[in-house]
A = this chain, B = another copy of it.
Amino acid sequence: MTQQRRAILSVMETASKHLDASQILRKAQKLDASVDRSTVYRTLRLLKRHGLIDELDLMHINGEGHYYERKLERDHIHMACLRCGKITEFVSDEFEKLKQQVEKDCRFRVLVSRLEIGGYCAVCRGAQ
């Protein structure tokens, strides 16, 4: 556990929204100016492998990069509005059931899952 990792960890813990690697870098550098881009990537890879963070695309609403968020107790769905860009999260028992079905019917051990939906949010749906 190094200074740099502590800084990155702390950024992830306190983040209020989905951050991409360069945003994480900038925020981590405010805590420890020595943090390097490659350390961020290396640490993110580590955290991902250990199942502590989730990696998201958010339907590529802004470019090709990835977003990261701390993995919480319950998985959630990400919905991205293709019009206004808003990201909504949604927790659903149906989702849990679906994963259980996969485990059972496909005899597949589920470790990570990512459900992203693109479409129109309630507001934009009306405005459209």
Contacts and interface: CB of A to CB of B under 8 A. Distances in A.
Contact of A117 (B77, B113, B119, B121): B113
B112 A113 contact: no
A82 interface: yes
B102 A109 contact: no
Interface string A99-128: 101100111111111111111111001000
Interface residues of A, number: 37
A102 B111 CA distance: 23
Contacts of A111: 82, 118-120
19 contacts: A55-B60, A57-B57, A59-B112, A79-B108, A82-B111, A90-B106, A94-B94, A94-B97, A95-B98, A98-B98, A106-B122, A107-B121, A107-B122, A108-B117, A108-B119, A108-B121, A109-B125, A110-B118, A114-B116
